[in-house]
Structure 1
Amino acid sequence: MNSPCRSLTWNPPIDGFILPNPKGLLRPLGFSEFSIIMLHRFSLYGFLKNQRYFEPFLILILLEKGLDFFQIGLLIGFQEGCINLMEIPSGAAADLYGRRRAMILSFISYIISFVLFALSHSMILLTTAVFFFAIGEAFRTGTHKAMIFNWLESEGQTKKKTMVYGFTRSWSKIGSALSVLVATGLVFYTGDYASIFWFSIPPYILAIINFLGYPAYLDGQSKVELSLSKIIDHFWASINQAWKRVSIRRLIIESMGFGGLFKINKSYLQPILQQTALTLPILVGLMQIKRSAILIGIVYFILHLLSSVASRQAHRLVALKKSAEHASKFLWQIYLSLFIVLVPGFLLDWDGLIIASFLMMAIVQNFWRPLIVSRFDDHSTSDKGATMLSIESQSKSVGTMLFAPLIGRLVDQFGFLPLAFFGLFISLSIMLRFYRKSYPE
């Protein structure tokens, strides 16, 4: 059989993958030529999705618009609350009426939110922007993972889901690293944070075009007329499946604690970096916003590159620890240790130690995500795949919704130290509850 790839000189297999020399394109061992194209489409989605040039500066943008940390916490809590209300029904709708359509709707909502964020100067408009952003998140999370897992099932490669999801996630992080460099350049050139929302729109238009190239079978098997009652029935069937099983309840609580803690803590890295930039005896001739942009850009670029490596190696951690549960326990132990380290860091104002701890948290999180997603998928059927993975994402949102306003108020009153104590409490509680003995997976 003639193939355009036959003329390439291939390296030997490396951990299940073959690397072609000329172009450096990754070719998975055992996948068809068409599936190689789909793997790159999945990776392109993650790359374009993370061209959010505002993200490394979002908290600083909100502070610049006159909000305090409590108000920012309220916005974050509102966003996560909206995601919670829409997440599982949106996953059910995607399972029933087409996952590609759900993804396109998601990215249109993102674009609307970017426009509103760029123009907003009042809490009402910012809340509206957050609402549209939440629609985008609700229809995206879980849905695209379900498409990837459906594709793996059709290829007979379900055993490689942690590896493949980790690979596509690594491209998301490469996209994030590139977006940080672009964002830093934009802020440095314009001297303004808010204008970078406009530059995030073109990549999202390209992502919509990418979805149009996905095969129709990834929409799912169900083809029925639109009915709210069918969505509700599908939703409650998935909820009952989740809560009747101890193993899934446990995963929900773990995802709520781990993901919720990380999502909140990473928000405070930006003001910490801004505070650090002002104390450094370098670049003193630059405007404050440009000094902050340079340090934030450097740290976030390193963060995303390390996160990309971590995502690709998640399957190795599972193999090393012999099971997903043991790998999860190991990650919780690291998480707990990092919060212990943060206590003297905040008390003694050791900025280097604080920043290094936040970087380590990001790395641990990117080992965690492919692992927890695969564990959830192990407990779902293909017809409820997007719904079950939306439950996973929703559990993380619940943690953020509950914790964000409270931590915001504490940070306003006492500085950043409550971040460490709150993380210690949650991490230790889950370790004592679930990892003193083995639970069924």
Structure 2
Amino acid sequence: MPRPVAMLARFSLYGFLKNLRFFDAFLLLALRERGIDFLGIGGLIAVREVASHLSQIPSGALADAFGRRRCMVVSMACYVISYLALGLSAQSWLLVFAMVFYGTADAFRDGTHKTLIYTWLRQQGRENERTKIYGYTRSWSKMGSALSSLIAAVLVFITGNFSTVFLLSAIPAFLNLINLATYPASLDAGIAPGGGLKQAYRHLVDGFKEVISRSSVRRLVMDSIAFEGGYPVVKDYLQIVVQASVIALPLGLSLSGEQRTAVFSGLSYAVLHFLASKASKSAHRFESSSGGVEPAIDRIFLLSIASMMILGLALVTGVGWLAISIFIFLGILQNLWRPIHIGRFDRDGNESRAATTLSIESQASSLVAAIWAPLIGFFIDRLSQGEKTAPLDALWPVTLVAIPLILAWVWRRFRGNPIANADIPRG
């Protein structure tokens, strides 16, 4: 078994390489460059989320049955195919193909790597460090995102188009495939060999039973739907807000519109991900200062609801700098939320079905995101009336995702917070 410091470095390297997605700061802009309207973009995002939805639970069950490291390698291979297809595609059906592979890659990855980390923590006798260790490794993911935003901004500035960043993203994905393939076999300890598809099916059924029958886990999934069902859709609209704001600013007038957008979007995303990295690393301190896990979750819910309300006001009144600031703050909240929330699943769930349970959680969020994406795109298309650059006041529908947040917070107040291990002993 590698030394603890070495494995922490490997876990952190995974996140760093995974988030070297040089197109992240320009995904919507790149699709707009190809003449796709917001409803079409929402449709592509929905395809990605539906593909993730359809693959999510089987991927977790397969990970628990065949080995989590193997499923992670499959995930990275799907990313490579997706990025190459996004960079080379000139037709809509190829973009759909790319999004299917993207969603499948997300499904095989999401939740699986976290269970590898938690398995390692149990082997080290460090289960009480869940939030701290996961927050630390996630902080490196965000540092990768910050660096990729700056590199992508330079690439777009030089080339004058957004498509080249897709092809470059395939390189770190391939390097990550090698990193994951060489993880120690001991991280798959506890997974019975030779079960095959029958064992995967049993994990799938048992995972569903656990979520349905154990109220503490069921409540955690509902929290995920409320908090993260809309965030994957909303976060990318920062690009459109930056584009609309840059046009109105008397700065860099000697540069083309694409170059100005590249500079400001790249810088905005770099700041967002740098602060998100700090937030993720500090999640355990936020948890402690809040008085524990559940009080910390309550605070994040309230801050998110208030932020969405301010964002809506900023967009309607056309205050671009405030809207950009709120998008960045929402990213910080999301990266405080995730390490704390995922630790709740490891606290209340069954270790042997950890990947399956987290896959069910991610699948539920993906399904909600698939509904939000085209709905928000439709409203923005109507309000922007076909303008090439959507005005700020046409972007307010992104704040509709605050509705489930408000309902979830009211539900938590009415029913009380989940109590760890309240239903049955952890198996």
TM range (shorter): over 0.9
Amino acid paired to 1:285: S
1:403 pairs with 2:382: no
Alpha-carbon separation, structure 2, partners of 1:91 and 1:424:
29
Alpha-carbon separation, structure 1, partners of 2:395 and 2:47:
22
Note the C-alpha offset of 1:437: 4.8
1:282 pairs with 2:251: yes
1:178 to 136, 144, 147: 147
Amino acid paired to 1:367: L
1:269 pairs with 2:238: yes
Alpha-carbon separation, structure 2, partners of 1:110 and 1:235:
24
Partner in structure 2 of residue 418 of structure 1: 397
Alpha-carbon separation, structure 1, partners of 2:176 and 2:249:
39
Partner in structure 2 of residue 391 of structure 1: 360
In structure 2, do the counterparts of structure 1 residues 35 and 263 end up closer, same or farther at CA, with 3 Å as the change threshold? Answer: same
Would you say the 8 A contact 1:220–1:383 is kept in 2? Answer: no
- Please give the secondary structure, in 1, of the residue aligned with 2:209: helix
2:136 to 160, 167, 176: 167
Amino acid paired to 1:111: V
Alpha-carbon separation, structure 2, partners of 1:115 and 1:170:
27
Map Cα deviations across residues 358-379 of structure 1 (whole Å, 9 max, x no partner): 1110000000000111111112
Partner in structure 2 of residue 7 of structure 1: none
Amino acid paired to 1:79: R
Map Cα deviations across residues 82-140 of structure 1 (whole Å, 9 max, x no partner): 11111111111111111111111111110001111111122211110001111111111
Note the C-alpha offset of 1:402: 1.8
- Please give the secondary structure, in 1, of the residue aligned with 2:348: coil
Amino acid paired to 1:381: N
Note the C-alpha offset of 1:226: 5.9
In terms of mean alpha carbon deviation, does 244-253 or 345-354 score higher? Answer: 244-253
Alpha-carbon separation, structure 1, partners of 2:286 and 2:309:
23
Partner in structure 1 of residue 417 of structure 2: 439
Map Cα deviations across residues 211-268 of structure 1 (whole Å, 9 max, x no partner): 1331101124224336333222210111111111222221111111111221111121
Amino acid paired to 1:283: G
Alpha-carbon separation, structure 2, partners of 1:411 and 1:99:
40
Counterpart mapping for 1:22-421 below 5 A: 34-225=3-194, 227-414=196-383, 415-420=394-399
2:405 to 427, 431, 434: 427
Q: How many residues align?
A: 409
Amino acid paired to 1:48: L
Would you say the 8 A contact 1:94–1:219 is kept in 2? Answer: no
Would you say the 8 A contact 1:74–1:405 is kept in 2? Answer: yes
Amino acid paired to 1:416: L
Note the C-alpha offset of 1:351: 0.5
Amino acid paired to 2:395: F
Would you say the 8 A contact 1:48–1:204 is kept in 2? Answer: yes
Unaligned runs of at least 5 residues, structure 1: 1-31
Amino acid paired to 1:438: G
- Please give the secondary structure, in 2, of the residue aligned with 1:322: coil
In terms of mean alpha carbon deviation, does 222-231 or 129-138 score higher? Answer: 222-231
Would you say the 8 A contact 1:177–1:301 is kept in 2? Answer: yes
Amino acid paired to 1:247: S
Would you say the 8 A contact 2:64–2:200 is kept in 1? Answer: no
Note the C-alpha offset of 1:436: 3.6
- Please give the secondary structure, in 2, of the residue aligned with 1:200: helix
Alpha-carbon separation, structure 2, partners of 1:379 and 1:236:
18
Would you say the 8 A contact 1:377–1:389 is kept in 2? Answer: no
Amino acid paired to 1:423: V
How well do the aligned residues superpose, as a CA RMSD in angstroms?
1.4
Note the C-alpha offset of 1:77: 1.2
- Please give the secondary structure, in 2, of the residue aligned with 1:378: helix
Which structure features the higher share of helix residues? 2
Alpha-carbon separation, structure 2, partners of 1:268 and 1:307:
17
Alpha-carbon separation, structure 2, partners of 1:147 and 1:161:
12
> After TM superposition, what 4+ stretches of structure 1 lie above 6 angstroms from structure 2?
none
Note the C-alpha offset of 1:425: 1.9
Note the C-alpha offset of 1:33: 7.2
Would you say the 8 A contact 2:66–2:196 is kept in 1? Answer: no
In terms of mean alpha carbon deviation, does 148-157 or 235-244 score higher? Answer: 235-244
In structure 2, do the counterparts of structure 1 residues 382 and 317 end up closer, same or farther at CA, with 3 Å as the change threshold? Answer: same
- TM-score calculated relative to the size of structure 1: 0.90
Would you say the 8 A contact 1:96–1:220 is kept in 2? Answer: no
Unaligned runs of at least 5 residues, structure 2: 384-393, 420-427
Map Cα deviations across residues 34-78 of structure 1 (whole Å, 9 max, x no partner): 011000000000000001001110011111112111111111112
Alpha-carbon separation, structure 2, partners of 1:265 and 1:329:
21
In terms of mean alpha carbon deviation, does 384-393 or 284-293 score higher? Answer: 384-393
- Please give the secondary structure, in 2, of the residue aligned with 1:336: helix
Alpha-carbon separation, structure 2, partners of 1:56 and 1:248:
34
